[in-house]
Structure 1
């Protein structure tokens, strides 16, 4: 690649050599250090490539071997400049373009944030703006180490930050602590029970902390106590002398019956687009916007579409310039009626999507009794689902004071 670039910068020729002794011509060129490449026969002649410098050394070789050379084609930057030597404005414009690109490369035109999930880009950008890290700032003024420190100090849930400049982009990568618990420590330490949050039949219970009060096969109602966070302390006589309190923890699964119903009107309004539309084209430099055309109209119903494209040189050289188009397209509303097959398909897809969401939450579907009924104006998917799903919610444990007996009372 480098050799090809140097050849283009210095210029080279494709020549046709006519000689009675081509072998002698090639040997003399080799002895005099004249580089030839791309040699190929062309009838009784030979075609090859030679540099401009090598071509200038050919005269004594041609005279000695009685060889005739014809220039077939010229390549390279010297010939390009010679061809357009009278077009001064073209070269001035090219030089000006290079200068503008160089000046634009001195600034940061895009701040890219990656890895954030709970914190939005806007939140982090607003904080950086308070620290004078904004779009359009000089690259030399970017202090990546300070940016990392500021973000770590401001956001406690961000445990790792990386900041670096690439082209005209400031790349910020963060990693959030996914194990962060938002519940205050005082609330976590409070003893709690697990109570049923739905009606059903217990199919499985695995207790890690607390005292289980139900077993597999027991029927429970919403609000029933499932696992107690209060553990009795007994003496040798099996009498309760106190209680130990803890946060109950268990995996509880119950079989429930979930009603499902979805109604759908068969009548709907369909958009019928007309050929009328208004367009506006614009060129935008940061907050400065120059537009041509207008989208003002008197359409009764119209749909707006906006397309905008940011100018870039490569992946990381982002320019502060963008262009786009705004379009207002007229449409009219036409009343339609869904066919029976369409309604069947749409209600079925919605039901399967609902079942998929349940399965994502760890719910097992045992039985499906949902049926679709299609009327003249209304369609309904109605029935029940038999599920096995996690159950239980935390509730604060009631504290019971135990009266201590004296030695005389014992």
Structure 2
């Protein structure tokens, strides 16, 4: 029999006699607690509860059910809510089915090969959203990707949950060459003054403080091998390697109009719900108006860290605005010009360029704000190019000495 228990409240003058009669008939009583002068609580099995009717009438006590627990009552609840239980079972079956499919592909570390290009390659390999995970062989995919893209030197593929992840490392992999064929020299890409220089391989042709021109050879890939008398006996060719920093000036010019249009928000924000199921997008918002800003926030459904579902929902926040023409004050125009200059400098710094001096002037007239001048920067250079081969020196004989 399926177990089930009820917690009862027993009140009356003969409550102790009621308990004794129950025990006398072999009923199992648990958790007997005295809660008042004429009240106590007791827990018993459901099958015994249906036998206490004659005992209740004999002792004149009042019985009140406080709690019901146990598998029996859960099954009774399921029987009364068949549709709800059927929906829960169906949902669990759907989740179990979705957990056997691929719903997310993540690629990291790729720079030379765009993600869209790699996804097209995976699609040609039969990898697509919604496919069975059992058909995915990570090792074979990694090998195929390395063969297809020579720039990829290392790739790791892993399948966790419903997400297929690729970690990629890229680099130049030139064909094997002899040391002489691989010899190269370093040339300047800019005009300027050598700020500092560290040579690891090759023969430096300039020193710190020298003025160089664009295209000038800075480090030669030729090493002169000399004898005891410092005469060149042969040439060796190497792949020149050095860190060369050139100080030079960069011209800067920027202008913008003082007459601008400013957005003035009006009315309240309107929020709309949208649903995306794989490539199907269900948008419940109205058509976008002319002067309206929209921000879309999407929340993907993720059961666990690696278990993604092909379903996401989100909110579109829309707000109307009007355009108001206004003229920037000299103070605001100068502030904006400085902000634009700082953005330009930030981009240079991200490229590894060091800025040592700023000679930019800001001029403001009735209509425009103009920034012009130069920036003194230090930039790394060194373009590789093949080394021109020299004829090896003629070997000396004893008679020549």
Fold similarity call, TM over 0.5: yes
Structure 1: state its 5+ residue gaps. 1-8
CA distance in 2, matches of 1:218, 1:231: 21
Q: CA deviation at 1:363?
A: 3.8
Equivalent positions of 1:264-303 (< 5 A) are 264-272=256-264, 285-287=277-279, 295=287
Distance of aligned partners of 1:318 and 1:58 in 2 relative to their CA distance in 1, 3 Å threshold: farther
- Matched with 1:4 is none
CA distance in 2, matches of 1:122, 1:327: 29
Distance of aligned partners of 1:46 and 1:398 in 2 relative to their CA distance in 1, 3 Å threshold: farther
Contact 2:110 2:169 in 1 (8 A): no
Distance of aligned partners of 1:312 and 1:175 in 2 relative to their CA distance in 1, 3 Å threshold: closer
Q: Greater CA deviation, 85-94 or 372-381?
A: 85-94
- Matched with 1:344 is 334
Structure 2: state its 5+ residue gaps. none
CA distance in 1, matches of 2:200, 2:138: 47
Contact 2:222 2:237 in 1 (8 A): yes
Distance of aligned partners of 1:362 and 1:308 in 2 relative to their CA distance in 1, 3 Å threshold: closer
CA distance in 1, matches of 2:327, 2:41: 75
Contact 2:29 2:42 in 1 (8 A): no
User: What is the DSSP-based 3-state SS (H/G/I as helix, E as strand, rest coil) of the residue aligned with 1:194?
Assistant: strand
Distance of aligned partners of 1:253 and 1:277 in 2 relative to their CA distance in 1, 3 Å threshold: closer
CA distance in 2, matches of 1:263, 1:48: 86
Distance of aligned partners of 1:130 and 1:278 in 2 relative to their CA distance in 1, 3 Å threshold: same
CA distance in 1, matches of 2:40, 2:362: 80
CA distance in 2, matches of 1:200, 1:391: 11
Aligned length: 389
| 1:251 pairs with 2:243 | yes
2:156 to 161, 164, 167: 161
User: What is the DSSP-based 3-state SS (H/G/I as helix, E as strand, rest coil) of the residue aligned with 1:346?
Assistant: helix
Q: CA deviation at 1:384?
A: 3.2
Equivalent positions of 1:4-403 (< 5 A) are 13-16=6-9, 34-36=29-31, 42=35, 44=37, 50=43, 52=45, 56=49, 70-74=64-68, 78-79=72-73, 82=76, 88-102=82-96, 104-105=97-98, 107-118=100-111, 119-144=113-138, 146-147=140-141, 149-151=143-145, 153-155=147-149, 157=152, 159-166=154-161, 169=162, 171-178=163-170, 180-186=171-177, 189-234=181-226, 238-272=230-264, 285-287=277-279, 295=287, 309-322=299-312, 332-401=322-391
Q: CA deviation at 1:379?
A: 1.9
Distance of aligned partners of 1:337 and 1:165 in 2 relative to their CA distance in 1, 3 Å threshold: same
Q: Greater CA deviation, 356-365 or 11-20?
A: 11-20
User: What is the DSSP-based 3-state SS (H/G/I as helix, E as strand, rest coil) of the residue aligned with 1:258?
Assistant: strand
Distance of aligned partners of 1:76 and 1:150 in 2 relative to their CA distance in 1, 3 Å threshold: farther
Distance of aligned partners of 1:374 and 1:88 in 2 relative to their CA distance in 1, 3 Å threshold: same
CA distance in 1, matches of 2:283, 2:346: 47
Distance of aligned partners of 1:381 and 1:352 in 2 relative to their CA distance in 1, 3 Å threshold: same
CA distance in 1, matches of 2:305, 2:226: 72
User: What is the DSSP-based 3-state SS (H/G/I as helix, E as strand, rest coil) of the residue aligned with 1:127?
Assistant: helix
Contact 1:14 1:47 in 2 (8 A): no
CA distance in 2, matches of 1:289, 1:65: 69
TM-score when normalising by structure 1: 0.70
User: What is the DSSP-based 3-state SS (H/G/I as helix, E as strand, rest coil) of the residue aligned with 1:177?
Assistant: strand
TM-score when normalising by structure 2: 0.71
CA distance in 1, matches of 2:398, 2:277: 92
